[in-house]
Amino acid sequence: MNRFTLTNVTTPAAALDAMRPDAEVKPLDFSWLNAKRPLAGGSDLLAEIKEGIIRPGTLVNLKTITGWSGIRPGADDALEIGATTLIADVAASDVVRAHSAALADAAEHVGSPQIRNQGTVGGNLCQRPRCWYYRHGDTQCLKKGGVSCFAKEGENKYHAVFATNAPCVMASSTNLGVALLALGGKLIVQSLAGEKAVAAEHFYRLPTAEDPYRETVLEPGEIVSGISVPESAGSRSAYMQISEKADFDWALVSAATRVKLDGAGAIENIALAMNAIAPVPWRLTRAEEFLRDKRPDIETLRAAAKEAFADARPLSQNAYKVAIAKALLVRVVQRAIGAHL
Ligand SMILES: Cc1cc2nc3c(=O)[nH]c(=O)nc-3n(C[C@H](O)[C@H](O)[C@H](O)COP(=O)(O)OP(=O)(O)OC[C@H]3O[C@@H](n4cnc5c(N)ncnc54)[C@H](O)[C@@H]3O)c2cc1C
Ligand code: SF4
């Protein structure tokens, strides 16, 4: 493990000051991503450091900031959750469940009790790739400054089935990110320039040839201070996942939805998102359009699932994900509307 400075800060201003980018930092040079890192629960970051994947000189401890932890009501009946709130607290909160069941369910499915009691909301949303080439200390793939993506021609059973023409084909693994996307939520981002709200839809970014390094739009020195989930009167939400193990495991595929039915039982509005099928939490807009104004019976849901994956492009070892994802799409909508599974 390399030497680093741990800075405990108690105010957002001190955190931003400690995260201030060095003068020579350029956004497209990935070294900034690793020079100074915010530290929350450390369940992801410390593993990266121990493996020698990144060698930050400075860690800025966000958990000592006063006021960044907690679940509270926001304006217009939105739900606000601070970045350093424990995932376990989100999972156990009746307030979260009543407002946005998908978020509580997504939190409940994160890893294990130990991870949920150590990991935070901000850390979950900003976690780095689980790709085994990325996580191996001895491999230097594109995302770590190398020249190629080893997964494209190599071992790719856990990787993307959408956006597989991107230079990096990692599968996004943030449980809370996919729930927030389906719920139309926002991330509150702090920087020395001030505060801004970024829709979950725009927070995650696909890898590009110029910048395959980042998974989010966070720029040098920016930190997430919390999330905001809007109220959607009359709608219901759900999150489900399928994993190889019943517990202590990442999802092979996960799904989140928010659905509103009209008086006749047809779908008035629906947002559908899935994770572990693309480098970012992925919105299934084709299925959403297909389902609008239709009654969500089993045949219609299966047809929507077929529509959703018509343009999936699996890699050599992961076509199985498409079959799983189609079944999960049907189930998650049924769960949200309370239909028999
Ligand atoms: C065994 C195991 C199983 C896991 N299973 C799952 C799972 O099923 N689902 C899932 O989603 N995740 C899973 N994780 C991943 C992850 O560790 C946890 O989800 C956890 O929420 C991360 O939060 P943390 O506070 O520990 O983050 P940290 O490790 O402290 O940080 C993670 C990353 O986010 C950055 N960061 C932290 N907070 C902020 C912030 N406020 N603003 C900007 N950047 C920030 C850090 O610099 C770091 O790069 C698992 C991890 C392990 C070790
Ligand atoms: S999928 Fe991304 S992280 Fe994995 S080997 Fe390819 S470039 Fe690296």
- Residue 44, in any domain of the structure: no
- Residue 264, in any domain of the structure: yes
Q: Which residues, including other chains, have CB under 8 Å from residue 91's CB and lie 6 or more apart?
A: 104, 107, 108, 110, 116
- Asked whether 110 lines ligand 1 (CB < 6 A), one says yes
Distance 34 CA to ligand 2 centre (A): 17
- Asked whether 42 lines ligand 1 (CB < 6 A), one says yes
- Residue 255, in any domain of the structure: yes
What's the number of domains the chain is made of? 1
Q: Rounded to an integer, what distance in angstroms lies between the CA atom of residue 338 and that of residue 268?
A: 16
Q: What is the DSSP letter of 54?
A: -
Which domain range does residue 88 map to? 68-341
Q: Which residues, including other chains, have CB under 8 Å from residue 148's CB and lie 6 or more apart?
A: 141, 142
Distance 174 CA to ligand 1 centre (A): 8
pLDDT at 340: 61
- Asked whether 170 lines ligand 2 (CB < 6 A), one says yes
- Asked whether 131 lines ligand 2 (CB < 6 A), one says yes
- Asked whether 18 lines ligand 1 (CB < 6 A), one says no
For residue 283, the domain's CATH number is 3.30.465.10
Nearest to 71 by CA among 107, 115, 44: 107
In b/e form, how buried is each residue of 145-176, taking b as 16+ CB within 10 angstroms? eeeebbbbebebebbbbbbbebbbbbbbbbbb
Distance 37 CA to ligand 1 centre (A): 13
- Residue 14, in any domain of the structure: no
Nearest to 230 by CA among 100, 102, 106, 67: 100
Asked whether the beta carbons of 108 and 91 are under 8 A apart, the reply is: yes
Distance 207 CA to ligand 1 centre (A): 20
pLDDT at 2: 80
Q: Rounded to an integer, what distance in angstroms lies between the CA atom of residue 71 and that of residue 56?
A: 31
Q: How many CB atoms lie within 10 A of CB 234?
A: 10
Sign of the dihedral through C-alpha 207, 249, 158, 333: negative
Nearest to 180 by CA among 219, 125, 127, 233: 125
Expressed in angstroms, the distance from the first to the final Cα of the chain is: 48
pLDDT at 246: 82
- Residue 219, in any domain of the structure: yes
- Asked whether 172 lines ligand 1 (CB < 6 A), one says no
Distance 299 CA to ligand 1 centre (A): 38
pLDDT at 63: 97
Angle CA(257)–CA(261)–CA(262) in degrees, nearest 5? 155
- Residue 120, in any domain of the structure: yes
State how beta strands 5-8 and 58-61 pair.
parallel
- Residue 256, in any domain of the structure: yes
What is the full per-residue pLDDT of the chain (341 aa) written as tens digits? 788 999 999 999 999 999 998 876 665 667 777 789 999 999 999 999 999 999 999 999 999 999 999 999 999 999 999 999 999 999 999 999 999 999 999 999 999 999 999 999 999 999 999 999 999 999 999 999 999 999 999 999 999 999 999 999 999 999 999 999 999 999 999 999 999 999 999 999 999 999 999 999 999 999 999 999 999 889 999 999 999 988 888 999 999 999 999 999 999 999 999 999 999 999 999 999 999 999 999 999 999 999 999 999 999 999 999 999 999 999 999 999 998 65
- Asked whether 118 lines ligand 1 (CB < 6 A), one says yes
pLDDT at 162: 98
